[in-house]
Amino acid sequence: MPRNTTSKEKFKTKHGVFDNFTNTTLFKLISRGYFEGIQSPISIGKESNVFSALRKDNSKIIIKIYRLETSDFNRMYEYIRADSRYPKMKKSRRKIIFTWVQREYRNILRAREASVVVPTPLGFLNNVLVLEYIGDDMVAKKLKDDIPDNPKTFFNKIIDNMRKLHKAGLVHGDLSPFNILNHNETPVFIDFSQGTTTEHPNFKEYLQRDIKNISTFFTKQGLNINTDKIYDKITK
């Protein structure tokens, strides 16, 4: 475990943008050796902020921080309460957000074990998720911002990942060009917080929505796509 060289007060001063609870959570992760300090913001979303962070050996990782006060925990609860993995979920804001983070970690881990191309999940604590950094000097761009050189090959790789995910009993639930990275012409699935099992009563609807989102994007790149055939390819 890397030696921690950041004092708690110095950390709070440097990262005063976060609430005290999140600052404490981040400091605990530093103390446990996950990283040395936050480097720079990567994306600011409605419910979470994503940052790069540096390890002691100067390698990079990703930390995803769910905001405690502005996250839509009611929407999160609707997803979680229908998830058979969380049968006794109580409607408490912090408990729901913490479970949401744990759920995303579990989904990514399960996807990775099924050979889906995803960032390696490194750990989580409370409202913070720690992930592998995808990219070289710069973080890999989202598909929407980095059109692949060969759209057909890239699209087929996405469908192959979706098929593996389905075989693992999961559906992403929010798949789109916004949460697929293009890393050296390889699709990397991210943002698994809405991912759920195929036991979910709405899993077919979620899968069809994922297929539609991806197909719409690649149709604009000149591909001729039959969504019914894609659904059959993923589920059979």
Query: What pLDDT, in 10s, does the model give residues 161-208?
Result: 999 999 999 999 999 999 999 999 999 999 999 998 998 888 999 999
Q: Which of the residues 136, 145, 191, 228 is marked catalytic?
A: 191
Mean pLDDT on 199-226 = 96
Answer yes or no: is pLDDT of 19 > 70.
yes
Number of Cβ within a 10 Å radius of residue 222? 8
- Looking at the DSSP bridge assignments, the partners of residue 48 are 66
CB count within 10 Å of CB 20 equals 9
- pLDDT value at 13 more than 50: no
To 10 degrees, the CA torsion angle through 21, 24, 29, 33?
170
137 given a catalytic annotation: no
Q: Which of 153, 47, 49, 161 is nearest to 111 (CA)?
A: 161
3-state secondary structure of 164: helix
Separation of alpha carbons 179 and 129, rounded Å: 16
Looking at per-residue confidence, does 48 or 183 come out higher?
183
**Rounded Cα gap, residues 121 and 107, in angstroms:** 9
Model pLDDT, residue 52: 95
Cα angle 172, 182, 109 (rounded to 5 degrees) comes to: 40
Whether 17 has a pLDDT exceeding 70, the answer reads no
Of the residues 57, 136, 174, 228, only one is catalytic, namely 174
Average pLDDT, the chain: 90
Q: Is the pLDDT confidence value at 5 over 50?
A: no
Q: Residue 19 catalytic? A: no
Mean pLDDT computed over 19-47: 92
Classify 218 as helix, strand or coil: helix
The rounded distance, in Å, linking the Cα atoms of 13 and 38 is: 13
Which band of pLDDT confidence, cut at 50, 70 and 90, is reported for residue 1? very low
Distance CA 147, CA 141 (A): 10
Res. 94 pLDDT band, cuts 50 70 90: confident
Q: For tokens 């999160």, name the residue.
A: 76
SS3 for 49-103 is EEEEEECCCCCEEEEEEECCCCCCHHHHHHHHHCCCCCCCCCCCHHHHHHHHHHH
Beta bridge partners of 171: 196
What's the CA gap between 52 and 33, in Å, rounded?
A: 15
pLDDT of amino acid 155 = 98
**pTM score, whole prediction:** 0.90
